[in-house]
Amino acid sequence: MDQQSAKVILDGNTYELPVIVGTEGEKGIDISKLRTLTNYVTFDQGFGNTSNCKSAITYLDGEAGILRYRGYPIEQLAEHAGFVEIAYLLIYGDLPTAEQFKNFSETFTEHSTLHEDMKHLFDGFPTRAHPMAILASVVCALSTYYPGIDSAALSTEEFDRVAVQLMSKIRTIAAFAYKKSIGEPFVYPRHDLEYVPNFLNMMFSNPSRPYKIYDEVSKALKVLLILHADHEQNCSTSTVRLVGSAHSNLFASVSAGICALWGPLHGGANEAVIEMLEAIQKEDSNVDKCLEMAKDKTNPFRLMGIGHRVYKSYDPRAKIIKECAHDILQKLGINDPLLDIALKVEKKVLADSYFVDRNLYPNVDFYSGIIYKALGIPRNMFTVMFAIGRMPGWIAHWKEMMDNPGRKIGRPRQIYVGHNKRDYLSINKR
């Protein structure tokens, strides 16, 4: 194999396939002509080795624990940037100038309210509805209240408006979903507040109890949103791309992404981690028992918040979140025993050959729930927080795909393993 091509030998014939090299030296074999040339397809369950696109949004090296948005290291962004600034960076490719940032922020404010009729949608859900179900439904329903957003025909200005509408309204929808679940009146967005404090105010203030917005709380939530803002071709982002590849509109595509994120193997893990830590606490903090269950191949239980498809070293986001958890608990004067249990689980995982041999480390969801809990965010809203954070990433990927003139509808192949041809028998002859 030379540097620019790969040779595949099938049935005695040699085929040459081009090699694609990314800007960070990642190499991929372009198999797009493989079936036409050879009649073979590739088999890759879970797409562990398959790139579906070239992307310039996020770079991630799972072996080295590197994550960068548009080239900027995640550590620098989490420390110094704002969430709206990061949204601009991800969607448009560069950090905004002061003027661009001002215009972008102003349109956020402009689009933060929901169409009044949309409030009735929330009444249609049972009180105990999971907010992720409400979020996915209401985001999809945006396309009925703000029509004329057919993706294939969107102009640049229309895309800008739809993207900001979605980014801005998602936090209003999320806060309304929460208010609905606790039977309190909706709190409308305020034009004098920035993105994160505005959201916190909609979540936690009510007519009889004004909410004091602490800078520490806003900062901790901002860091979490930035850390969740993109993670290249993860399950929900791939879903957004796949749905969008059929030219479904942005609202519908993102709604599908929200559903994918809800699963406990993906964004839903943050909720499951707290449940797991509480279960350990109930068992007299017996961490060993939990680890044994996770290692037992006859038991489907897994340690939640541990392991990652791409990271085979410590998830750089988890590193920042762990520090942030210590920091915010200390600042708020909270002593959460779940943090001690989590630290104990991590220590044992990092020293246990089962987890070490499989390169299993804490991921982004392992410590995030402890922070959300400290901020007063209820457990069923944890994955909603993830969704608000991931919104710029989903929008950026949808845009990148739609801007690619060579895009194709997503349509994987399969290897059929069912029955060979057989003839139909009417029901009384079976």
Instruction: Check binding of 302 to ligand CMC (CB under 6 A).
Output: yes
Residue from 85, 232, 365, 400 that binds ligand CMC (CB under 6 A)? Answer: 365
Q: Taking contact as CB under 6 A, which single stretch among the options 68-76, 173-181, 203-211, 264-272 is the one that binds ligand CMC?
A: 264-272
Q: Tell me, residue by residue from 17 to 46, as one string, x for binding to ligand CMC by CB under 6 A and - for no binding.
A: -----------------------------x
Known active-site residue 327: no
Decide: helix, strand or coil at residue 93: coil
Cα 205 to Cα 272: distance, rounded to the nearest angstrom: 27
Q: How far apart are CA 354 and CA 24, in angstroms?
A: 32
Q: What are phi and psi of 259, to 5 degrees?
A: -60, -40
- CB-closest chain residue to ligand CMC: 307
Cβ-Cβ contacts under 8 Å for 39 (sequence gap 6 or more): none
Q: Does 290 bind ligand CMC (CB under 6 A)?
A: no
Instruction: Report in angstroms how near the CB of residue 17 gets to ligand CMC at its nearest.
Output: 26
CA distance 344 to 288: 10
User: What is the rounded CA–CA span in Å between residue 392 and residue 251?
Assistant: 13
Helix (H) or strand (E) holding 15: strand 13-21
And the tokens for 166? Answer: 């979605």
Spatial distance between the Cα atoms of 325 and 368, rounded to a whole number of angstroms: 7
Distance separating alpha carbons of residues 379 and 338, to the nearest angstrom: 14
Binding piece for ligand CMC, criterion CB under 6 A, among 12-20, 115-123, 126-134, 304-312 = 304-312
Long-range contacts of 415-418 (CB under 8 A, 24+ apart): 415/41, 415/43
Q: What single letter denotes the amino acid at residue 348?
A: K
Q: Which of 131, 189, 197, 307 binds ligand CMC (CB under 6 A)?
A: 307
Q: Out of 365, 397, 403, 419, which one is annotated catalytic?
A: 365
Is 130 labeled as catalytic in the residue annotation? no
State which of residues 254, 360, 375, 381 lies at the interface with ligand CMC (CB under 6 A).
Answer: 360
Q: How far is the CB of 54 from ligand CMC (least distance, A)?
A: 22
Query: Least distance in Å: CB of 309 to ligand CMC?
Result: 4
- Which pairs from 215-219 meet CB under 8 Å and 24+ separation? 216/328, 216/331, 216/332, 217/328, 217/332, 217/375, 218/194
The residues that bridge with 58 in the sheet, in sequence order, are: 69
* Out of 136, 294, 381, 388, the residue judged to bind ligand CMC by CB under 6 A: 294
User: What are residue 306's phi and psi, to 5 degrees?
Assistant: -125, 135
Q: Give the residue, chosen from 266, 326, 348, 407, that forms a contact with ligand CMC under the rule CB under 6 A.
A: 266
Piece of the chain touching ligand CMC by CB under 6 A; list 80-88, 186-194, 261-269, 403-411: 261-269
Which one among 306, 371, 381, 388 touches ligand CMC, defined by CB under 6 A? 306
According to the binding rule CB under 6 A, does residue 161 interact with ligand CMC? Answer: no
**In the complex, minimum distance from the CB of residue 354 to ligand CMC, in angstroms, rounded to a whole number:** 7
Choice among 308, 340, 352, 419 that is catalytic:
308
345 binds ligand CMC (CB under 6 A): no
Between 162 and 338, CB nearer to ligand CMC = 338
**∠327-332-335 over CA atoms, to 5°?**
80
Q: Where are the alpha helices (DSSP H) in 111-194?
A: 119-123, 131-145, 156-182
190 binds ligand CMC (CB under 6 A): no
Per CB under 6 A, which of residues 208..247 are in contact with ligand CMC?
234
Active site residues: 308, 365
Which residues sit at the interface with ligand CMC, rule CB under 6 A? 46, 234, 265-267, 269, 294, 302-309, 358, 360, 363-365
